Amino acid sequence: MRVLVSGGGTGGHIYPAVSLVKAIKERHPEAEFLFVGTERGLESKIVPNAGIPFETIEIQGFRRSLSKENFKTVYLFMKSVRESKKIVKEFKPDVVVGTGGYVSAAVVYAASKLGVPTAIHEQNSVPGITNKFLSKRVDKIGLCFKDAAEFFPKDKIEMTGNPRGQEVVAIGESDILSSFGFTTDKKTVLIFGGSQGAWAINQAIESALSQFNERDYQVLIATGERYYESMVKKAEELNIDASRVALRPYLENMPEILNNLDLVVCRAGATSIAEITALGLPSILIPSPNVTNDHQTKNAMSLVNNNAASLLTDADLTGNNLVEAIDELVLDSEKLAKMAQASKAEGIPDAGDRLAEMVLSLIK
């Protein structure tokens, strides 16, 4: 069995693809895989590190305003389709799966033209331009949010969820919090703004450090590399107790950490939501205002409307508001427990199995 997977640009497109490969490999250890991405995208690091064979094509996205660059984009797309056809013919996959990003547009389109069974996976509540383009050409479409169904042909969609969630659940609880100087008898809150950090979130954190230092819960903060040194300097000026507030530039072992938390404060990216709901974690979601179609707000509202998360907008984000929102949950065990239960109800803990089964069903 041969499976070709393509996705790129952001971790939200790449991690589900890697999780899918693992899920299929568990069922079929003999299966062969190939991941097609770009040289410049995060996939060029994440995929090889996961031990998955990797090839690249050159492609770029359309500019939303009139631009001469769009002529180059059209040229590169046509060229990348030719390159993708060559890769497909050489690898001879039984099925091709796209998980989003411009690179998957060329690869999945090429495969469909060659008559290879194809599927796409849409992580967000509002699909991007790539999956909208591919939806009429593929055989199956896996969804993570019910709201996304209105954008796709009804006879092709399946609610699979995001396979990243199942991968995180499998890790289980551990004593990892002790590595941050934390104890097990206090509630623990994680705040992060994505792998690169988020300026607005870090500004609020900096204003809230003194208040966190007085709370009876522990706060783990991932600042992002670019904000780390200034945050550490601020914490030193304020004499912040490291056993109450731990600062890190990046958290390599995020899945294990998530298994040992009481509350998460983060952006409303699809992967984060999949992980949070699969574990049944309460959360305060701060949607990024700088994403296409404001899809993070729509992602967040799918939980907020069911009392599975709280919402804090960038416009309302201050140090005081951040602390107040956290206190409201962490200091009220009953409210925290109800939100955890609602979050769990929104999750799809067997998403990896569902997506793998959908993909494998296409193999003749």
- pLDDT for 72: 61
DSSP SS3 for 343 = helix
Spatial contact of 222 and 197, defined as CB atoms under 8 Å apart: yes
Residues in CB range of 59: below 8 A, 6 or more apart: 38, 76, 77, 80, 102, 103, 105, 106
DSSP SS3 for 246 = strand
Phi and psi at residue 11, to the nearest 5°? -60, -30
- pLDDT for 41: 84
- pLDDT for 104: 95
Please state, in angstroms and rounded to a whole number, the distance separating the CA atoms of residues 19 and 24.
9
Radius of gyration for the alpha carbons in the chain, expressed in angstroms and rounded:
21
Question: Model-level pTM?
Answer: 0.87
Domains and CATH numbers, the chain: 2-162+349-360 (3.40.50.2000), 170-346 (3.40.50.2000)
- pLDDT for 170: 93
- Among 306, 248, 298, 253, CA closest to 277: 306
Q: Structure tokens of 43?
A: 């996939």
Please state, in angstroms and rounded to a whole number, the distance separating the CA atoms of residues 145 and 36.
26
Do strands 263-266 and 283-285 pair parallel, antiparallel, or not at all (unpaired)?
parallel
User: Does 195 count as an annotated binding residue?
Assistant: yes
List strand residue ranges (DSSP E) for the chain, in order: 2-6, 32-37, 54-56, 95-98, 118-122, 140-143, 157-159, 188-192, 218-222, 245-248, 263-266, 283-285, 310-311
Continuous segment of H or E residues that includes residue 135: none
Can you name the residues that pair with 69 across neighbouring β-strands? none
- pLDDT for 288: 93
Residues in CB range of 295: below 8 A, 6 or more apart: 124, 125, 126, 128
Can you name the residues that pair with 118 across neighbouring β-strands? 96
Please state, in angstroms and rounded to a whole number, the distance separating the CA atoms of residues 24 and 192.
31
Neighbours of 179 (CB within 10 A): 11
Please state, in angstroms and rounded to a whole number, the distance separating the CA atoms of residues 357 and 199.
40
User: Does 12 count as an annotated binding residue?
Assistant: yes
Please state, in angstroms and rounded to a whole number, the distance separating the CA atoms of residues 190 and 355.
29
User: Does 11 count as an annotated binding residue?
Assistant: yes
- pLDDT for 153: 96
Using 50 as the pLDDT threshold, list the residues of the chain that sit under it.
62-63, 65-66
Continuous segment of H or E residues that includes residue 167: helix 163-169
- pLDDT for 194: 77
Please state, in angstroms and rounded to a whole number, the distance separating the CA atoms of residues 276 and 264.
8
Continuous segment of H or E residues that includes residue 213: none
